[in-house]
Structure 1
Amino acid sequence: MNPPEEYINSNSGELAKGGANQFSNNSISESSNLDKVRDLLFGNQIREVDKRFVRLEERLVKELTNIRDETRKRLDNLENYIKKEVDSLAERLKNEQIERGNAVQALGEEQRNISITLDKKFAQLEEQTTNSQRNLHDQILNQSKSLQDDIQQKYEEILALLEREAEELRRDKIDRSKLAALFTDLAIRLNGENS
């Protein structure tokens, strides 16, 4: 609190004369008196407020520690949860990749089996076709041989028939010659008897 100007002006001479020490001592005693008065008037309240501040500060520190611990705990739980979810997703992804790989492999195996089956079917079909061709060829050969035998037999029969017919024709021709000669001889005889 600043002293009034009158007090300063009236005491300025005393200060100049060496009363500075006295003013200083008066200030200190006034200050200590003021502290005492203040302590008497407000000491209990100030101490109470200080205690409250200390308790409040302790409470705040405790609350902050609890909040920090709770936050750390929640963050750890959240981190563990996220880690578990990421691990679970990674595991599911890995399993899905394995399943897809197995499916592709199974599909490849199935295609291989289909290919093998088709190859076997084609081989069987080719073998059946070859056997059918061979059988058909054998049948054609047999029929051809049978036909050839029939033709040969017919040829021989016709040839024999022709020979028989030719023989008969020759015989008939010879008989006609003989008959002509016989007639000629008969005519000569008849002419000879008539003359």
Structure 2
Amino acid sequence: MSKETENISKIRDILIGNNITEMEKRFVRIEDQFRHELHAADRKWHEQHEKLSQYTHTGLGNISENTGNELREQQRKLEQLSEDLQFLKARLQEHRDQTRNEFDALRKLLHDHYHDTTEALQKAINEVKDTFIQRLAEVQVSKIDRSSLAVLFSQLALQVSDEADHTEPTSQADAQ
């Protein structure tokens, strides 16, 4: 220390006394204690910050991993649903094609049946018509034959009556 500082210290000691020195010692102790407490608090704060940072990092990692797992699971389910949808779509197409084929077959069968029935009905109508025409012709022939027969009988009757008239006078003459 310099002489001036010593002199100031002596003057101070005379004026204030030993209390100031003791106060300075106390301040130095308090300052040391404060520095020690501040250093401990700073170290504790860094430890807490490190723990919180690690906890946050771990938590975010877990959340990220869980989110990734859930996302993969959702994607897997979506792919499964897509496959199921494609399968159902294919089955629906098969069913639609099968139904269309069955409908076309039934329509063809119905058309063929209609055509066959129409042909059979037309054939039956033609047969009935031919039979009717044949019977009508037979009836007309029979009529003509009856008419001819009636004319023939009339002619025969006339001839017989003419012959009877011619033979009667001789018969009457013979009878007389």
- TM-score, scaled to structure 2: 0.71
Alpha-carbon separation, structure 1, partners of 2:41 and 2:5: 40
Which aligned pairs between 1:29-68 and structure 2 lie closer than 5 A?
Answer: 29=3, 31-35=5-9, 41=18, 42-43=20-21, 45-68=23-46
1:173 aligned partner = 151
Q: Which amino acid counterpart does residue 120 of structure 2 have in structure 1? A: N
Match for 2:121 among 133, 143, 154? 143
Shift of 1:126: 2.3
2:104 aligned partner = 126
The worse-fitting range, judged by mean Cα deviation, of 154-163 and 88-97 is: 88-97
Unaligned runs of 5+ in 2: none
- TM-score, scaled to structure 1: 0.65
Q: Which amino acid counterpart does residue 70 of structure 2 have in structure 1? A: R
Residue by residue over 1:149-180, the C-alpha shift from the partner in whole angstroms, topping out at 9 and shown as x without a partner, is 22222322332233233223222222221222
CA RMSD, 1 decimal: 3.3
Bigger relative CO (Cα 8 Å, ≥ 6 apart)? 2
Residue by residue over 1:110-137, the C-alpha shift from the partner in whole angstroms, topping out at 9 and shown as x without a partner, is 3443343233223212211221221122
2:164 aligned partner = 186
Secondary structure of 1:150 counterpart: helix
Alpha-carbon separation, structure 2, partners of 1:112 and 1:30: 107
Runs of 4+ in 1 over 6 A off after TM superposition: 36-40, 192-195
Shift of 1:57: 0.8
Alpha-carbon separation, structure 1, partners of 2:71 and 2:136: 93
Alpha-carbon separation, structure 1, partners of 2:59 and 2:85: 37
Shift of 1:60: 0.8
Q: Percent sequence identity over matched residues?
A: 8
2:50 aligned partner = 72
Mark the CA change 1:30 to 1:161 in structure 2 (over 3 Å): closer, same or farther.
Answer: closer
Number of residue equivalences: 168
Shift of 1:65: 1.7
Unaligned runs of 5+ in 1: 1-27
Mark the CA change 1:88 to 1:190 in structure 2 (over 3 Å): closer, same or farther.
Answer: same
